[in-house]
A and B are shown apart, each in its own frame.
Chain A
Amino acid sequence: MKLSQLEVGQKGIVKEFTDMEMSVKLMEMGCLPGEEIRVDRIAPLGDPIAIRVSGYQLSLRKFEASTIILHKN
């Protein structure tokens, strides 16, 4: 399950990343393995999305979200 597949309001826990370059940037911003992510909103045109992670709101593009693999729950 990728982060980009979540609907608004759904949560997931980060398992791993598929893209090294992106993962370095995402981890710096607090998107770490084991961290819970909730999708807060999707931009009016369908991209980017806004997520809640580590106690704040972060926006990222769908493509970037698709590099984040979530645990099955």
Chain B
Amino acid sequence: MKADIRVALVGNPNTGKSTLFNVLTGLNQKIGNFPGVTVDKKVGYAQLPDGRTAEIVDLPGTYSLYPKSQDESIVFSVLADRSSALVPDLVVVILDATNLKRNLLLYSQVADLKIPVIIALNMMDMANKAGITIDINALAGQLGVPVIPISARKLEGVDKLKQAISFANKIALQQNSIDVRSIAPDVVDSISIELNIDNPYFALQLAHQHEHLKFLTPEQSNRIEQLKLEHGFHSQKAQGAETLARYAFINELLYDTVKTPATAHDETFSNKIDRVLTHKIFGFIIFFAILLFMFQAIFSWASYPMDLIESFFMWAQDSLNNALPAGPLTSLLVDGVVAGLSGVLVFIPQIAILFAFISVLEDTGYMSRVTFMMDKLMRKVGLNGKSVVPLIGGFACAVPSIMSTRTIENWKDRMITIMVTPLVACSARLPVYTLLIALVVPNQRVWGIFNLQGLALTGMYVFSLLSAIIVAWVFKMILKSRERGYFIMELPVYRMPRWSNVAFSMYDRSKSFVFEAGKVIIAVSIILWVMASYGPGDRFEQIEQKYARTEYTFNFSPDELKTLTATEKLENSYAGVLGHFIEPAIRPLGYDWKIGIALITSFAAREVFVGTMATIYSVSGGDGDTASVLQKMRDAKNPKTKKPVFTVAVAFSLMMFYAFAMQCASTVAIVYRETKSWRWPAIQFAYMTVLAYVVSFITYQWLK
């Protein structure tokens, strides 16, 4: 889409920036109260009153142009890089009218870059309610920019804002806020001359941030470093002096234009809620009750749509098999692509429900209270209060959870969170656990109220969280970081969630899961299909010939022959050969070559286990038929000893393997994307595989 004017939205977290973006563009997207949720650069289009189209870029929320996290560093780069294709013609700075002082800091920094600016003064309704009076004309006059009062949630003032955008000047008319040059005159002057810059604040920012700016050449960056050394530039001192000067300017400005009553109404209301929600005892009880409710919802509400998706794909596979001529291409489409697709899409209900909950918790402001309550506990093991969100999300799926670690500013805390999140029992492990528990744990009640199988499952979940915490603690000991951890976080006032945003969050996260993880899962499914459908040499033809002989066709029904052929083909396929090949290595864990195949196929995705078991134990009736898989596995006997294959020891050893092993191609891919190096996914894969092997070995040898 071609736009006539490019507008960047800039503002503090929790100012309703994303809501304004939605209102302006009609293109809804992810939003939350948790500081820094708006991560990716979101772009939308707005129709202006004069008929022109504006491209709106939503930049990550930040408190200042000095970045504290990865997301925040985008803001200065976008605003400063005049050569980039994304450089805005106009910046709309959105300010929270109930909290003008802190919000104006960012405005004054942006204004000093001398890009044309408009102020959108949001939450005017809340400010009025709180008795805050703002002299908008005086404010606009003193700053020299248009100030448009709006309340984005109530859609008030948005038309006026669009009008202001269409009338916006091409040149920056704002008043200077502070004397930037006086902070570090020598450095500002020399950089300005050296790089031919006419804006002193831009020169000063380059002195601070040049190492991280992609648009500077290495020579330019080195030259700036030299000039800094020459003039004894101290980054923190300069930043402190700048902040003090800016707040002095802001205080003066607010003294003339804003009257605030002694206590605002809203804060006391939030305080009352917090007295309960962050209470010493009730606080934790409520938090765990919410978690419990969330899991119940994820498992029970999702089961119906998941069944629908599964039966749809079973129907699709059947009808494709019937409609298309039999052959390798049909098989690739049906057993490779469609089966892979169903493996991805079946998780959508769980992911959508999880993100609906997370979105509500963030939007209301509760998630920052959880962070506040849990920080001390999490810090003991090398995590951070903000790690709670990804860890909880890990119960559904590690992929979106790892994406959500971007809000953790501290590098070490973030890496540890990424490293341990896949240990949390995700929903893909659920079918594996339920199958194995049903196999060996008796279905009986204990102490009258608990179901033994349910207890075993709960045990696996608690165990997963414990192992994540222990591993985090180990990483804390190993990882070295010069960066100091800190925890300075805004606690936003409680608000009602915006349901349209919740709905969009469900849609947005499901979509990114399908596209990010889907690619990998389908690719691996196809590879697995090839490995399971072809064998070395002419083994497959020999099997076909063998079962075509009369002694077989006479004694068995066509269906039985089909499963017999399929089973023997699988054993002789590349996957089967590989299974036999790794058998010596997995024998100490109690597994035979058939389980070996399941382990290999599960490296694409854990839930493949059930399907593979179904194929290996040649169940007629399709992949999803768990009950008959269960029966076949129960009946499975070791050909030599004639004892059951799946003993308590083997089942628990397998569960331990699935608890620890990194059997998820999507997670590997997302960790690579988030850490931008193969080192982290490699370390993660290695430590998890080793842990899986050792723990399974101990479990099997102990229970045997």
Contacts and interface: CB of A to CB of B under 8 A. Distances in A.
B486 A23 contact: no
B284 A29 contact: no
Contacts of A30: 101-102, 105, 247
Determine chain A's interface SS by DSSP, over half rule.
Answer: mixed
B264 A55 contact: yes
A44 B373 CA distance: 6
Contacts of B271: 40-41
Contacts of A57: 267, 270, 490-493
B373 A58 contact: no
Contacts of A50: 274, 372, 491
**Central interface residue in A29, A44, A54, A64, by most chain B CB within 10 Å:** A44
Given A57-B267, A60-B488, A64-B488, A28 B63 contact: yes
Contact residues on A (Cβ < 8 Å of other chain), bracket: 20 to 34
B239 A48 contact: no
A38 B231 CA distance: 40
B488 A25 contact: yes
B63 A58 contact: no
B160 interface: no
A59 B372 contact: yes
A12 to B, nearest CB: 17
Interface string A12-32: 000000001111111111101
**Central interface residue in B68, B243, B368, by most chain A CB within 10 Å:** B243
Contacts of B66: 24, 28
B444 interface: no
Interface in B343-377: 368, 372-373, 375-377
A61 B284 CA distance: 19
Interface string B228-265: 00000000110110011001000000000000100010
Contacts, number: 109
Contacts of A21: 236, 484
A23 B490 contact: no
Contacts of B98: 55
A47 interface: yes
**Central interface residue in A32, A45, A47, by most chain B CB within 10 Å:** A45
B458 interface: no
Contacts of B264: 55
A29 B372 contact: no
Interface of A: 20-30, 32-33, 40-41, 43-48, 50, 52, 54-61, 64
27 contacts: A20-B240, A21-B484, A25-B68, A25-B486, A26-B488, A27-B243, A29-B490, A30-B102, A30-B105, A32-B244, A40-B274, A43-B278, A43-B372, A44-B284, A56-B99, A56-B102, A56-B490, A57-B267, A57-B492, A57-B493, A58-B491, A59-B489, A59-B491, A60-B486, A60-B487, A60-B488, A64-B486
Interface of B: 63-64, 66, 68, 98-99, 101-102, 105, 236-237, 239-240, 243-244, 247, 260, 264, 267, 270-271, 274, 278-281, 283-284, 368, 372-373, 375-377, 385, 484, 486-493
Given A40-B274, A57-B492, A59-B488, 17 more contacts: A25-B486, A28-B66, A29-B102, A32-B247, A41-B278, A43-B375, A45-B376, A48-B375, A48-B376, A48-B487, A54-B101, A55-B101, A55-B260, A56-B267, A57-B270, A58-B491, A59-B490
